[in-house]
Amino acid sequence: MIAERGEAGPGGPASGYPEARIGVWMERVSRAAAMAGGLLLIGVMVMTVISVIGRYVFNAPIPGDYEITELVCGVAVFAFFPYCHMRNANIVVEFFTARLSPRRKTMLDTLHNFAFTVVAALIAWRLCVGGLHKLADEETTLFLDIPIHWGYFPALLGAVLLTAVCAWVLYRHIRALAR
């Protein structure tokens, strides 16, 4: 298992090293992004409750509530990914790997983290390209005329942070293998 928060161990240096500070910084930024994503979802939840009450009690829902929900939920998902990966909280099926030695598990985790880093970078790249296209096309939502790129660029920030976190976790796994 890789040491968390820069502690001495197979995955991280003692807390005084610059590498440990990078890890602590990434965890703090990832946690802040996840908290922001949570606040976004709370806002969507409150808006949805108000809209449903408005629809059934006053026959006046919030116009375009589902447009806002789509944009905000997309951004929130990308806000959660970095912290989830930083804390190693992704779903793992250990049916086939339960009997592997810790070194072989670390080797497999390193391979998975390499693949995830590449995928995260591809997602960030495509979000950037897609956001630039939506910006150039000036595409908006149907009812509220919210520019679609407003959802792309905040999600891009989350994807870039995810890529950085993936690279950091990959680095920690490679260091653990080197020992």
Residue 76 has pLDDT above 60, yes or no: yes
Residue 2 has pLDDT above 50, yes or no: no
Exposed, middle or buried: residue 127 (CB in 10 Å: 0-12, 13-18, 19+)? buried
Q: Which of 132, 116, 124 is nearest to 156 (CA)?
A: 124
Chain-centre distance of CA 169, in angstroms?
Answer: 14
CA atoms of 78 and 76, how far apart (whole Å)? 5
| Mean pLDDT for the chain overall | 89
Domain ranges of the chain: 18-178
Predicted TM-score of the model (pTM)? 0.84
* Interval 26-44: pLDDT, tens: 999 999 999 999 999 999 9
* Interval 91-134: pLDDT, tens: 777 777 888 888 898 899 999 999 999 999 999 999 999 999 99
Average pLDDT over residues 79-98: 86
CA atoms of 154 and 74, how far apart (whole Å)? 9
Predicted confidence band at 12 (pLDDT cuts at 50, 70, 90)? very low
